[in-house]
Amino acid sequence: MDFVPERDGVVKDEKTGELYIPASRRPDGTWRKPRKVKDGYVPQEEVPIYENRGVQWLKSAPSLPPGLNPADVEAAKKTDSQSLSKSAKKNAKRKEKKKQQHESGRVAGPGESVESISQTLAATKLSKDSKESDPSSDKAAIEKKIRNLKKKLKQVDDLKNKIDTGEIKNPEKEQLAKVARRQELVDEIEDLELDLED
């Protein structure tokens, strides 16, 4: 007995045993003739898509290196989420802090810029991270941060002198905000120097 796969729209004639597609109505109202379906015919929609050897090889290639147990990979993923790298932890804390600020509705006040808030948060994160991790690499990071802050402080002082002497007659809003942040920079440098001494 021949196995004939059942397809949508294909009917078997009881008398002759032939397969055919019955007559159907077109959208304009005319009729299509019934069509015979030859043995072995596969409609275009059912023809499998051709894949060359390279594609077949890529699909059959394992995603893991040979000899690696998939259970070990799952266990490693779980421990990785617990023991993140320093930068990943910092990013996670930053996201958490943003989320908390958004929920609490803290926004920059009239004297505060959004940048100053983010820099203050970054400074507190740096001091927290420095206490948690390796002291030798932290000292270098703190010293670098202090140098950068001192450069910014020097730029602020230069800008303030130019405004005071009248060299800059109409300072821009950003320049005034930069001068207003002078005390924050001084405080941050002092905090970092205290952390460096510890």
The answer to whether position 49 is within a domain reads no
The answer to whether position 1 is within a domain reads no
CB distance 20 to 33 below 8 Å: no
Cross-strand pairs, 11 = 20
The answer to whether position 102 is within a domain reads no
**Helix, strand, coil percent values for the chain (each to nearest 5):** 60, 5, 35
The answer to whether position 51 is within a domain reads no
List the one residue out of 105, 165, 133 whose CA is nearest residue 141.
Answer: 133
Which pLDDT value is given to residue 115? 58
How far is 30 from 25, CA to CA, in rounded Å?
A: 6
The answer to whether position 152 is within a domain reads yes
pTM for the model? 0.33
Domain residues for 171? 115-198
The answer to whether position 74 is within a domain reads no
Looking at every residue in the chain, the average pLDDT score rounds to: 79
Which pLDDT value is given to residue 52? 94
Indicate the residue type of 148: N
Q: How many helices (H) and strands (E) does the chain have?
A: 7, 3
DSSP secondary structure letter of residue 44: G
Cross-strand pairs, 21 = 35
The answer to whether position 119 is within a domain reads yes
Question: Residue 45 pLDDT > 90, yes or no?
Answer: no
What's the number of domains the chain is made of?
2
End-to-end CA distance of the chain: give it in Å, rounded: 90
- pLDDT tens column, 136-174: 677 888 889 999 999 999 999 999 999 899 888 888 888
The answer to whether position 138 is within a domain reads yes
List the one residue out of 29, 28, 30, 6 whose CA is nearest residue 19.
Answer: 6
CB distance 141 to 130 below 8 Å: yes
